[in-house]
């Protein structure tokens, strides 16, 4: 408490607020309190499929274990944000070895990604729900020195409570699509109030920065996209070769459809059925985004007559196998390293796409659908370099995959161009670290 009170007493005055914004925040908070029982019931219900959802639920109300005070707090929602944050986390550990690092996530899969990638190197709890009491309790119990929030996690009460407690907040790798900006603009009074509570928004690109400024953010800087700075494990390519040799089969072409959502597996399997007529030995690695969909997708593959091997079965694909279902967590990069080309999901449905830079960095040609508003800049850069192709449906997907499978030289050249795009846009990590250094309160 002493550290928290010290920073509160020496922090700069909070920016002025307007009555309409304050009323909207109270209305928003009231709705959240009304929805709280439903949120807790949802955790309990999801616990039937995976008991992990029921565990540690008190952390979501701010009741967290005893933690060292004065930590660097980094929040990443789920798996994608956690993977993007790993270079930053490791750089912070190197730069500030004497400061404890607290990593929070919102989802169970994000929590498991933290534990798998970082183990006991960091402290981990779930982030509190965006309720004033829960956030204030979390801050009292953790007393962070600085909050680094990944990408687009903008929560009015969390940011307000941090400002009141004197905890600087940096929105790192911040992105804001046109679609999201229009949504925030509809509640512009609350949005402007919330953005004024943020110490610094470190935007991925100038377009993101301009959208934040248009909504009323007073402190925005363009630092670049951290996802370009993704380091590949030294053994990753070898892991991919071993997976190809021992599990998938060396003498067949392998196409990966990664991070698929509900509504995408059907067109992917439709395209695969077309392709199998020409390449009977073609193997599809199908990797659903969410674990709760694994069983359903496996059943769907088998209902279509595709002999399917699940990663969890820990057995090699027989020569007649058609689909390898990636029903594991934390292996996506290894799966990419074992494939010949990649389709990245979340893009045939209006989810906004997923990280297309990971397969590009591994030298794979990349395919994605029309809905890429969360990765607009990355997608456009790969398209401009002829390292990626955008498709709209199953028929176009089948045609694009066929062209690449038929022409190995084209496939290899596209992969090389994609890797070059990623390599030439690295550097966001160093810029972001400098921003964090500026905002980090003097250590007492």
| Residues recognised as catalytic | 81
Please state, as a whole number, how many other Cβ atoms lie within 10 Å of the Cβ of residue 16: 7
Selection from 289, 349, 358, 362 nearest residue 325 by Cα: 289
Angle between helices 265-276 and 294-303 (to 10 degrees): 30
Please tell me the distance from the alpha carbon of residue 75 to that of residue 358, in angstroms, as a whole number: 21
How far is the C-alpha of 153 from the C-alpha of 61, rounded, in Å? 18
3-state secondary structure of 251: coil
* Ramachandran assignment for 245, one of left (phi > 0), alpha (psi -120 to 50 degrees), beta (any other): alpha
Q: Which two tokens stand for residue 49?
A: 């499929």
Count, residues in the chain: 444
CA distances from 366 to 79, 185, 313, 412 (A): 20, 33, 28, 12
C-alpha distances (whole Å) from 189 to each of 167, 174, 192, 222, 263 are: 23, 21, 5, 24, 36
């Amino acid at each position: 408490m002493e550290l928290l009170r010290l920073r509160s007493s020496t922090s700069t005055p909070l920016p002025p607020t307007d009555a309409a914004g304050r009323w909207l925040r109270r209305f928003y908070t009231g709705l959240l309190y009304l929805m709280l029982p439903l949120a807790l019931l949802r955790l309990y219900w999801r616990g039937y499929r995976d008991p992990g959802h029921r565990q540690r639920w008190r952390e979501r109300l701010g009741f967290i274990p005893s933690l060292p005070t004065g930590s660097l707090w980094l929040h990443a929602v789920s798996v994608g944000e956690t993977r993007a944050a790993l270079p930053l986390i490791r750089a912070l550990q190197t730069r500030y070895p004497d400061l404890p690092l607290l990593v929070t996530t919102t989802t169970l899969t994000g929590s498991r990604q933290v534990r798998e990638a970082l183990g006991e190197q960091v402290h981990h709890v779930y982030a509190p729900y965006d309720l004033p009491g829960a956030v204030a309790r979390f801050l009292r119990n953790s007393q962070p020195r600085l909050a680094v929030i990944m990408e687009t996690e903008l929560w009015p009460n969390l940011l307000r409570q941090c400002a009141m407690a004197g905890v600087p907040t940096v929105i790192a790798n911040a992105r804001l699509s046109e679609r999201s900006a229009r949504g925030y603009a509809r509640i512009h009074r609350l949005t402007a109030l919330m953005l004024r509570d943020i110490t610094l928004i470190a935007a991925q690109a100038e377009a993101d920065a301009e959208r934040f400024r248009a909504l009323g953010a007073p402190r925005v800087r363009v630092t670049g996209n951290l996802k370009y700075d993704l380091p590949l494990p030294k053994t990753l390519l070898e892991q991919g070769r071993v997976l190809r040799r021992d599990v998938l089969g060396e003498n067949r072409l392998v196409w990966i459809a990664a991070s698929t959502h509900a509504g995408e597996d059907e067109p992917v399997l439709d395209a695969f059925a077309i392709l199998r007529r020409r390449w009977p030995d073609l193997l599809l690695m199908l990797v659903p985004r969410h674990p709760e969909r694994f069983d359903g997708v496996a059943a769907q593959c088998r209902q279509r007559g595709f002999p399917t091997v699940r990663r969890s079965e820990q057995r090699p694909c027989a020569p007649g196998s058609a689909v390898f279902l990636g029903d594991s967590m934390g292996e996506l990069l290894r799966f990419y390293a074992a494939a010949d080309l990649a389709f990245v999901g979340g893009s045939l449905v209006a989810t906004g796409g997923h990280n297309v830079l990971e397969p590009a960095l591994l030298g794979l040609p990349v395919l994605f659908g029309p809905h890429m508003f969360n990765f607009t800049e990355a997608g456009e850069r790969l398209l401009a370099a002829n390292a990626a192709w955008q498709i709209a449906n199953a028929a176009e997907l089948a045609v694009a995959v066929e062209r690449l499978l038929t022409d190995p030289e084209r496939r290899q050249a596209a992969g090389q161009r994609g890797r070059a795009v990623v390599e030439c846009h690295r550097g966001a990590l160093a810029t972001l670290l400098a921003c964090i250094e500026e905002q980090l309160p003097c250590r007492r």
